[in-house]
Amino acid sequence: MTDILVIGAGVAGASVAYFLASAGAEVTVIDAGLHAASTVPAALLNPVRGQSGAVDAGAVEGMALTWALVQALITAGYDVPHGKTGVLRPVPDPRTRARFEQRLPADLAHSWLAPEDSPVFLSPGWNAVLHLPEGGWLDGAAFTRALLATSGARVVRGRAQSWEATSVALEDGTQREAGAVVWCGGSVGASWADHAATHRAGTMLLLSQPVSTLPISFGAYLSPAQGGGVLGATFEQPSPVWNAGPLPLGSLAWLLNKGEALADLSGVRVTGRWSGSRLSGLRVGQTPQGWWQLTGLGSKGFLLGPLRARELAEQMGR
């Protein structure tokens, strides 16, 4: 397979294009240019997930690979706003701490701090703080854009209507042929294609200034971002379809409450919002129909997307 069509230019498609092109394939990326979750203004590289404290197999390797790519892109002259600052995970009670502790792999650098020893101010009431010094944040759009640009892949603006193992039909009536097709359409694409899937919408409030010099995450997250900060989470009810509706007022109140539980928001202005939808249920590999896919990266698109893309490129014989 020397020529490959990738559908979708989010972090999944850009990463697949990068690894396939690095291995010598001629890659064309077809992208509708709409609704990429990967434009998230500040994505955390946080290997310890949610309120369960689960750590994916590959999280430590995935985090190291994404940071290595950020470094390579910066060395190549791209601007990728990021902070390899570490991440703080405050926990509310000893039970949560015990659950987190049980799941921490030996090769993940970490330490537990008393809340009063936190390197940044935390709102009162936390039981302990997990410090993950190798985590941090990055600008999703800048990282994805730079990865795609450095891959050298040709980018075609258009919406794929249907696809098979070696061809893609576009909405404008044209057809493209290649040695292989890789589907990386994310939440919006799965919805357009009527794939059975679970979608989760979430929102970032853009803040006039960073509330903290490093991300703080439990329930929601506060993070520095290019030109200020964000307060965000994926918290809407799971849905069988992608949904780009307006932010419900109840969600705004929920998010602000979660933010205040983490740190002191006084003096910080909300300057805008970004909303997106992510897809659950990771799928990596070849489908029975013969086309390949990297989809369902959930809330870990930047933690695991490049790693899974490298694995897919290897599976494709690259």
Ligand X SMILES: Cc1cc2nc3c(=O)[nH]c(=O)nc-3n(C[C@H](O)[C@H](O)[C@H](O)COP(=O)(O)OP(=O)(O)OC[C@H]3O[C@@H](n4cnc5c(N)ncnc54)[C@H](O)[C@@H]3O)c2cc1C
- Answer for which of 4, 5, 6, 9 binds ligand X (CB under 6 A) is 9
Q: To the nearest whole angstrom, how small is the minimum distance from the Cβ of residue 124 to ligand X?
A: 25
Piece of the chain touching ligand X by CB under 6 A; list 51-59, 146-154, 249-257, 298-306: 298-306
Residue 301 near ligand X by CB under 6 A: yes
Closest listed residue to residue 63, CA positions, set 111, 124, 105? 105
57-76 binders of ligand X (CB under 6 A): none
Q: Binding pattern to ligand X, positions 143-182, x when CB under 6 A? A: ----------------xx----------------------
- Is 185 among the residues that bind ligand X (CB under 6 A)? yes
Torsion of the alpha carbons at 58, 60, 61 and 66, rounded to the nearest 10: 110
8 Å CB contact between 37 and 278: yes
Please state, in angstroms and as integers, the Cα–Cα distance from residue 82 to each residue in 49, 74, 138, 180, following that order: 20, 10, 4, 34
The whole-angstrom separation of Cα 137 and Cα 86 is 8
Per DSSP, 127 falls in state: -
Asked whether position 20 contacts ligand X by CB under 6 A, the answer is no
Using CA atoms, how far residue 259 sits from 49, 75, 300, in Å, is 18, 35, 21
Q: Binding segment for ligand X among 9-17, 48-56, 173-181, 310-318 (CB under 6 A)?
A: 9-17
Q: Which of 6, 146, 303, 307 binds ligand X (CB under 6 A)?
A: 303
The answer to whether 283 contacts ligand X (rule: CB under 6 A) is no
In angstroms, give the least distance from the CB of 183 to ligand X: 8
Annotate 186-245 with DSSP letters as a single string. HHHHHHHTT----EEEEEEEEESS-SSSS-EEESEEEEEETTEEEEEEE-SPPBSS---P
Q: Which of 5, 21, 43, 80 binds ligand X (CB under 6 A)?
A: 43
Phi, psi (rounded to 5 degrees) for 90: -70, 145
Check the CA dihedral 247-249-250-255 and report its sign: positive
Instruction: State yes or no: residue 16 binds ligand X (CB under 6 A).
Output: no
Q: Are strands 199-207 and 270-279 parallel, antiparallel or unpaired?
A: antiparallel
Closer CB to ligand X, residue 122 or residue 190?
Answer: 190
- Residue 7 found at the interface with ligand X (CB under 6 A): yes
Q: Which is nearer to ligand X, 92 or 158 (CB)?
A: 158
Q: Does 30 bind ligand X (CB under 6 A)?
A: yes
Least gap, CB of 155 to ligand X (angstroms): 11
